[in-house]
């Protein structure tokens, strides 16, 4: 099916945030036309299973699908995959794509992020894998099946999940990280001791204060040279050092920074334009700052909030970050904020060696709660976090008018 020349709501990016926006628009009673464009070839899917069940071979990748052509058709949503948005004309309200131009009433930017590559010598793509897409997950899964040793570069949560999967596949694993600490999503480095212990108990070697100088490949083995001069050898090297927002297609409309798009607390980036999910940083009326969360539930909540705003004009409560991960069968859940200067106070269990619930305390108030395998007590602690975070709001940032260049916002 060809693209229609106009859509009342045009959503660019067909993954969690984009599809949540489209489906929520119908749920909110929006009766206008909705078009979703995505540049991947397959049906839209969720990414969290890619580093867990899909990577381990427990799920076929189709089980992560979230929105089929049939579901889109039933909801009266024009879903187009394999089409790339190339530029935006703000004044004319037109998006140019690889399949022609499309004009819009409202535009929702949901183009997410891509894996950050390692800035080292040699062509890293030849010797190191990254994990962002379905295809990446399948390629890494196959490599893990055929590898005895793996070096994971990146000490964030994705690096930890890949390391845990590689250990489960029987590979010898080393995690290399520059920051000196293991981090866990929004919890940052506050649980580094517990994570170090988990990895060590499961036989993962940690090199947490070393950067990577270069990677070479001799045809069978990758040789990773660390900034300390130390060398590691591995059958497979995986790079998990974060993500870069996909904003380059907006360059012609004035966006020059490679950072997330700074929106108001309802996701509005400029007049008639919203941004949702990993590509967006929404203004947090509690802290007065822009927050880029890069979490699955934030992407969903962004989509739902923008849909409500477009369909009804109602303002939604800004999302409270909710993050989860699973390492070696241990389920971590985190809700709220974990500022670097917060103190983590254990309220149940033992944080350093087992299951626990802990509060992120700042100025005597709980700003976040994190738990390992204690879902019920985690849930019970959430209202106290809500009470703290619903404090006095900061003023909203000014809106960019529809005809002004987009980049001038901040």
Chain residues in the site for ligand FAD (CB under 6 A): 12-18, 37-40, 47-48, 50-51, 84-85, 110-113, 131-132, 158, 246, 249, 277-278, 294-297, 299, 323-325
- Which letter does DSSP use for residue 179 in this model? S
Nearest distance from C-beta of residue 131 to ligand FAD, angstroms = 5
Q: Give the nearer residue to ligand FAD in terms of CB position, either 37 or 226.
A: 37
**Cβ proximity of 309 and 318 under 8 Å:** no
Instruction: Report the nearest approach of ligand FAD to the CB of residue 245 (Å).
Output: 9
- Minimum CB distance to ligand FAD smaller for 226 or for 299: 299
Nearest distance in Å: CB 262, ligand FAD: 15
Query: Cβ closer to ligand FAD: 24 or 325?
Result: 325
How far is the CA of 313 from the CAs of 94, 261, 305, 309, 393, in angstroms?
23, 22, 10, 4, 20
Q: What distances in angstroms separate CA 144 from CA 50, 111, 196, 243, one per listed residue?
A: 14, 29, 22, 22
In sequence order, the 6+-apart residues with CB closer than 8 A to the CB of 45 are: 15, 61, 64, 65, 66, 134
Give whichever of 134 and 309 is closer to ligand FAD, judged by the CB atom.
134
DSSP 329-373: TEEEEEEE---TTPEEEEEEE-TTTS-EEEEEEETTEEEEEEEES
Residue 256 DSSP class: -
Hey, which residues does 239 pair with through a beta bridge? 153
The least CB distance from residue 38 to ligand FAD, in Å, is 5
Nearest distance from residue 25's CB to ligand FAD, in Å? 15
Across-strand partners of 164? Answer: none
Minimum CB–partner distance for residue 219 and ligand FAD (Å): 28
DSSP state of 45: B
Would you say 101 or 233 has its CB closer to ligand FAD? 101
Contact 277, 245 (CB under 8 A): no
Minimal distance, residue 10 CB to ligand FAD, in Å? 11
Q: Which residue has the tokens 């974060």?
A: 242
User: Cβ closer to ligand FAD: 7 or 16?
Assistant: 16
CA atoms within 13 A on the CB side of 25: 25
CB of 40 or CB of 101, closer to ligand FAD: 40
């Amino acid at each position: 099916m060809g693209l229609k020349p106009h859509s009342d709501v045009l959503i660019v990016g067909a993954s969690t945030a984009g599809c949540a926006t489209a489906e929520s628009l119908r749920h909110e009673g929006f009766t206008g036309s909705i078009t979703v464009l995505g540049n991947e070839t397959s049906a839209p899917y969720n990414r969290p299973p890619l580093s867990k069940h899909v990577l381990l071979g427990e799920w076929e990748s189709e089980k992560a699908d979230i929105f089929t052509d049939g579901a889109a058709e039933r909801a009266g949503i024009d879903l187009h995959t394999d089409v790339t948005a190339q530029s935006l004309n703000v004044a004319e309200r037109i998006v140019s794509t690889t399949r022609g131009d499309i004009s819009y009433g409202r535009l929702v930017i949901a183009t997410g992020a891509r894996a950050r590559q390692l800035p080292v010598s040699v062509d890293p793509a030849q010797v190191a894998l990254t994990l962002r897409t379905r295809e990446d997950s399948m390629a890494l899964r196959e490599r893990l099946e055929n590898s005895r040793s793996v070096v994971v570069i990146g000490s964030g949560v994705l690096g930890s999940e890949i390391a845990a999967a590689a250990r489960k596949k029987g590979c010898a694993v080393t995690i290399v990280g520059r920051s000196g600490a293991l981090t866990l999503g929004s919890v940052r480095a506050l649980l580094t001791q517990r994570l170090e212990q988990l990895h060590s108990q499961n036989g993962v070697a940690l090199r947490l204060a070393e950067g990577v100088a270069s990677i070479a490949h001799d045809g069978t083995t990758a040789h990773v040279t660390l900034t300390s001069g130390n060398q590691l050898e591995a059958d497979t090297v995986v790079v998990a050092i974060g993500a870069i927002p996909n904003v380059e297609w907006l360059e012609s409309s004035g966006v020059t920074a490679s950072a997330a798009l700074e929106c108001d607390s309802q996701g509005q980036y400029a007049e008639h334009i919203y941004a949702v999910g990993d590509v967006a940083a929404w203004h947090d009326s509690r802290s007065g700052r822009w927050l880029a969360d890069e979490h699955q539930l934030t992407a969903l909540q962004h989509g739902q909030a923008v849909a409500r705003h477009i369909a009804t004009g109602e303002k939604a409560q800004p999302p409270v970050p909710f993050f989860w991960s699973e390492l070696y069968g241990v389920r971590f859940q985190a809700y709220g904020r974990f500022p670097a200067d917060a103190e983590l106070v254990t309220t149940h269990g033992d944080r350093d060696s087992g299951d626990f619930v802990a509060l992120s305390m700042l100025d005597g108030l709980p700003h976040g709660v994190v738990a390992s395998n204690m879902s019920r007590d985690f849930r019970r602690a959430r209202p106290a976090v809500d009470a703290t975070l619903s404090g006095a709001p900061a003023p909203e940032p000014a809106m960019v008018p529809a005809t002004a260049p987009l980049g001038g916002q901040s």
